[in-house]
Chains A and B, each alone.
Chain A
Amino acid sequence: MKSNIRNFYLCVILFCCAIVFSSFVRIMGADKVAMPYKKAGLTTEQAAAHLLSRFTYGAEPGQVEELTKMGLDKWLRKQLEGNLEDKELDQMLSKYDAINFTNSEVEDVFPQGFRINRWAIKDGYLHKDSLNNGNSKAQREAVQAFMKDKGYRPLQELYRQFISQKILRAAYGQNQLRELMTDFWFNHFNVALNKNQCASFVPAYERDVIRPNVFGNFEDILLKTAKSPAMLMYLDNFSSSGVNVPMEDQEMMLMADGNKMNVEEKAKNKARINKIKQQIQQKKKQGGLNENYAREVMELHTLGVDGGYTQNDVTQAARVLTGWTVAPLGKEGYGVGNRNIIERLGSNGLRDKGFVLDGDFFFNANRHDNGEKVVLGKKFPAGGGYDEGVELLKMLAHHQSTAKFISKKLAVRFVSDAPPASLIDKMSKTFISSKGDIKSVLVTMVNSPEFWSQDALREKTKSPFELAMSAVRSLDAQITQPYELYTWINRMGQQMYYYQAPTGFPDNGQYWINTGSLLNRMNFGLALASQRIPGVSLNLAALNNHKEPESVEAALLTYSKLIMPERELGQTVARLKPMLNDPNLQQKVAKAAEQNSANKQNGEMADQQMDMKPDKKEKMKLGNGKKAMENPTIKEQKGNNTMLAQVVGVIIGSPEFQRK
């Protein structure tokens, strides 16, 4: 007896040790960054450049040296924590008030257009007979007056602020990997501003659902997206409802169906059974089930299209997720019906009746199909309520197919368009063993030789956003009007936040590089370098410590190295040299430039003064690290600088710079 007890304690102790040890190993595993770049034949500088090209939006001047000095592993660990102080960025973002709004605040301050018209009519600003779709001037003015009086702002302003913050974070934020991963997961769990119903909720979605969870557990980010207003609206689950039959009625139906009732009982309950059947029929006719989210959560978010599910699994999963909807947001926003339920029942009543109100999420038990379901062979008994949805998502999150699907997608993002199977295997093993710990999967990726192999170096093509950001970063440009860059990024083929399909943007060079977009990449380089993008300024001379290159050729070499550190530049330089050496060329270019310079300069000066918002002056004072902004001299602007801008523009638009 005694020895039994002793054995028991021993077992408990051993068990505890095992738990402690295994979690210790896990933490160690997640932490242990051992990048085998030397084995791959790379110098530390080359490895730093590669790491920067994949885990940041592009190296800033001097950053390769910085990393080499600091140690690559230390830098990466800090990036994986993603909590570096970001004073300068915070200062820049401080002028965008709306990016911090809750969903409810957004609903109250930025109402949808159709609501504004309705309210303006109600309040007598507009007469309904004068309304038309032609947007007459009188109508626009009346609406503007109404909005001003009520403190409403146009949604477009929210989008602009939101887009601007993304650009500033990518360009200047210290937590670069967190931003890249935010971009990755946003694209994975794509939602889009072109769907009105979800658009208002997209800023909070990125801020609260995606960004804080990018390195955490896959299960968490999956669950949070599932419960977010943006996703609920984008894939229509907010409207999905099923037949809710009270449990006692269900039991009765089961008994009646299973002939567990005797004739007398059947006769007694006949009327009631018929009534329930009728109700079910009626509900079915209303067609409340919407499968969009259930399908895409399997196909796009977790298992992948070949992940081994059937149409029946989709329907069953949709039934599991009925009743998952958006909580009432704002004073007049979505969900008036739910508001009544919540007010009527109170928090205790809600809990007792199986409702769940969690932030912006609402589980409406009345709309939940509480019958039995089977998804991927797993039985969800009748009456599972909200919890069965959570259980379903957890099951999907930890599925073998999901481990593979997510690992591959990460490898495609960070390693190559066609990552080797060996790498995906290692990453999915980590995904399973770490129970979906994203950070551990990333560490496994960089610890693998495949990440550093020759096949991976410069293999990825920058997306238009990455191209723009890497250009801005490498030239140390000052951005005062981020939205101007957005229009260029759009022109180059990436209308950020407006990708209509839930697939998100494809992540491969084939997609990004096509005839029209490639030309615009070249034009972007020229426009940026010659400072023709309003609100984006640079000082090329300062970039080279005000050392004026002796010749055009020298400029080419110097600036190529500055912009593309640790790259093999022989070809680029050799190809451009003969052209730059055309004896008349410089003259021609300068002359043409001067012909324009009069009005151009005037225009740009005016532009610049307009843009000189306090924050820019602030920024100039703060400087960006080492280099302070100085006004280029007139000589630089007119003469050599034109040529220099041309050279830099060509480098930004060159094939080498499109790769990362």
Chain B
Amino acid sequence: MVSRRGFLKAGGLALFGIGLGGIPGFLADAVASTVTPSLFKKKKILVCIFQRGAMDGLMAVTPFTDNFLKAARPSLFMTAAKGNGNEKPLIDLDGRFGLHPSMAAFEPMFREKRLSIVHGIGSPNNTRSHFDAQDFMESGTPFKKGTSSGWLNRAVGLLGHEAATPFQGVSITSSLPRSFYGENPAVAIRNLADFNIQMRGNVAGAKMASKSFEDLYDQTSSSLLKNTGKESFDAIKMLQKTDVKNYKPENNVVYPASALGNSLKQIAQLIKMDVGMEVAFAESGGWDTHFNQGKDTGVFARNVNDLSNCIMAFWNDLVKYQDEVTVMTMTEFGRTVAQNGTGGTDHGRGSCNFILGNGVNGGLVHGLVNPLAKENLEDGRDLAVTTDFRSVFSEVADTHLGINNDKVLFPDFEGKKIGVMKA
């Protein structure tokens, strides 16, 4: 069992009197606009976005020269060629793959080689159940249900230093996702503004209650309750340094008013507050497009538009922190090569994912997508999984977070890395 660490014991922050309710002035400034010398040793931050429901990788990043795909998707297939009426063409990335036009926000990043794409990524376990596939991807053990921890929790444990704050691993969800299950500290926060002692409208009452609790927890004989109590109150004070409700992003960035936009905005706030966060998690939904997924407009277009715009808002908001941050998307599986009878696609195998960051080996579509002839498809119907998700996840985590124990991060995995990050 992991021993509880005294919050800020080693961090030095306590010296500035946070425990007494004071807020170091320069910390408050940190939120404003400039990056001040960090109290903690500069830490890298990995932000993971889980696209629940299984994104159609073949529509997000289309091998548009593939005639098998064209034939299998009579009403879904798009090309990079102009002149298709009002239909927007794909964004030609490399003569073979085209980015969905609603993800135009990603194009500059790809051209600047800061965005990389892995195609044909997925799990070696061929389950097509959302639940099982998500479970396996989040636990990181594709053939073992009983793994008690999630891979991001293990990543937190492998960072190689004690948590300076309770925010080392943060999920912007109402409950802890499977990825964060485990013994290392991780916290689920739905809304930063709620992270406080609350008495609706009764400020004096809340203050009194807060003080009472703080005092009680400080005196309790249970060290678990005592230490966590202290952490909690220190954490409140950390978050109160800034007006989380009236947050002003940098660069006049406007986050899309979507669930993902809201999550990433809060992650950006935590990064700027310098609360010691190193692994963050957010979710994006609506990818299970069995019905009329559309082409350049429609459900799928709206989804990828939101995904790319949220990520780019986040990226531009963090203009001064971009060297520290890597963003990685993931989805449980891809969708059938052929469209179904209701203008959508069904559960498949391989999909694609996006990795954004200055340390990324960008501007490339990594992985292997063979011509989508029936004999090349998995079970005769799906884009084959040619890259194990663990290969990519471990490379990103290792390179960006400096983790060097893949045996713990992904037990039973022996595969090679494919070079999605710069060497």
Contacts and interface: CB of A to CB of B under 8 A. Distances in A.
A585 B198 contact: no
Interface in A241-272: none
B157 to A, nearest CB: 14
Given A195-B131, A518-B232, A650-B213, A129 B146 contact: no
A296 B215 contact: no
Given A114-B290, A503-B146, A526-B209, A519 B204 contact: no
A479 B235 CA distance: 33
B174 to A, nearest CB: 7
A467 to B, nearest CB: 12
Interface stretch (B11-19, B79-87, B98-106, B184-192): B184-192
B219 A575 contact: yes
A324 to B, nearest CB: 17
Q: Chain B CB within 10 Å — which of A490, A509, A518, A600 has the most? A: A518
B341 A128 contact: yes
Contacts of A576: 212, 215-216
Q: Chain B CB within 10 Å — which of A134, A495, A506, A527 has the most? A: A134
A295 interface: yes
B4 interface: yes
| Interface size band for B | 35 or more
Contact of B145 (A197, A287, A295): A295
A502 B343 contact: no
Interface string B119-160: 000000011011110010001000111111000000000000
A493 interface: yes
Interface stretch (A36-44, A65-73, A589-597): A589-597
Interface in B191-223: 195-206, 208-209, 211-213, 215-217, 219-222
Contacts of B288: 133
Nearest to B170: A516
A453 B291 CA distance: 62
Nearest to A139: B291
A388 to B, nearest CB: 23
Contact of B213 (A114, A132, A300, A653): A653
B262 interface: no
Interface string B154-187: 0000000000001000000011101001010111
Interface string A482-510: 00000000110101001011110010111
B225 A513 contact: yes
Interface stretch (B28-36, B248-256, B292-300, B322-330): B292-300
Nearest to B205: A589
B166 A515 contact: yes
Given A197-B129, A490-B174, A650 B201 contact: no
A588 interface: yes
Decide if the interface of chain A is mainly helix, strand, loop or mixed: helix
A561 interface: no
Given A114-B290, A576-B212, A579-B211, A300 B146 contact: yes
A515 B228 contact: yes
A107 interface: no
Interface residues of A, number: 75
Interface string B305-321: 00000000000000000
B3 to A, nearest CB: 9
Q: Chain A CB within 10 Å — which of B196, B231, B298 has the most? A: B231
Contacts of A117: 291
B299 A495 contact: no
B348 interface: no
B258 interface: no
B174 A491 contact: yes
Contacts of B229: 518, 655
Nearest to B199: A526
B197 A522 contact: yes
A132 B212 contact: no
B279 to A, nearest CB: 15
A523 interface: yes
B224 interface: yes
Contacts of A513: 224-225, 228
A571 B220 contact: yes
Given A572-B216, A592-B202, A128 B131 contact: no
Contacts of A291: 143
Contacts of A659: 222, 225
A133 B291 contact: yes
Nearest to A649: B209
A501 B197 contact: no
A522 B342 CA distance: 50
A655 B178 contact: no
B364 to A, nearest CB: 31
Interface in A127-149: 128-134
Contacts of A295: 144-146
Interface in A568-583: 571-572, 575-576, 579, 582
Q: Chain B CB within 10 Å — which of A493, A495, A498, A513 has the most? A: A513
A659 B224 CA distance: 11
Given A493-B176, A500-B135, A642 B205 contact: yes
Nearest to B236: A519
A516 B205 contact: no
A652 B105 CA distance: 50
A608 interface: no
A292 interface: yes
B148 to A, nearest CB: 5
Contacts of B188: 493, 516
Contacts of B417: none
Q: Chain A CB within 10 Å — which of B143, B175, B290 has the most? A: B175
A518 B235 CA distance: 12
Interface in B332-356: 341-344
B258 to A, nearest CB: 12
A515 B201 contact: no
Contact of A655 (B226, B294, B299): B226
A506 B49 CA distance: 26
A519 B217 CA distance: 11
A514 B1 contact: no
Contacts of B147: 501
A235 B198 contact: no
Contact of B231 (A114, A515, A572): A515
A585 B209 CA distance: 11
B43 interface: no
A305 B148 CA distance: 11
B289 interface: yes
B213 A654 contact: yes
A310 interface: no
A589 B204 contact: yes
B108 interface: no
A213 interface: no
Q: Chain A CB within 10 Å — which of B143, B200, B212, B217 has the most? A: B212
B197 A132 contact: no
A627 interface: no
Contacts of B235: 515, 519
Given A129-B343, A132-B291, A501 B145 contact: yes
Given A515-B232, A530-B199, A655-B222, A592 B178 contact: no
B286 interface: yes
A532 interface: yes
B70 interface: no
B113 interface: no
Nearest to A117: B291
19 contacts: A131-B292, A132-B292, A132-B298, A461-B224, A500-B131, A513-B224, A516-B189, A519-B195, A526-B198, A576-B216, A592-B201, A593-B202, A646-B208, A650-B216, A653-B209, A654-B216, A655-B220, A655-B222, A659-B222
Q: 3 shortest A-B CB distances, which residue pairs?
A: A655-B220, A515-B166, A131-B291
Given A300-B146, A526-B197, 20 more contacts: A114-B290, A117-B291, A128-B343, A133-B286, A133-B289, A133-B344, A134-B286, A236-B132, A461-B222, A500-B135, A502-B145, A518-B225, A518-B228, A519-B196, A522-B213, A571-B221, A589-B204, A593-B205, A642-B205, A655-B226
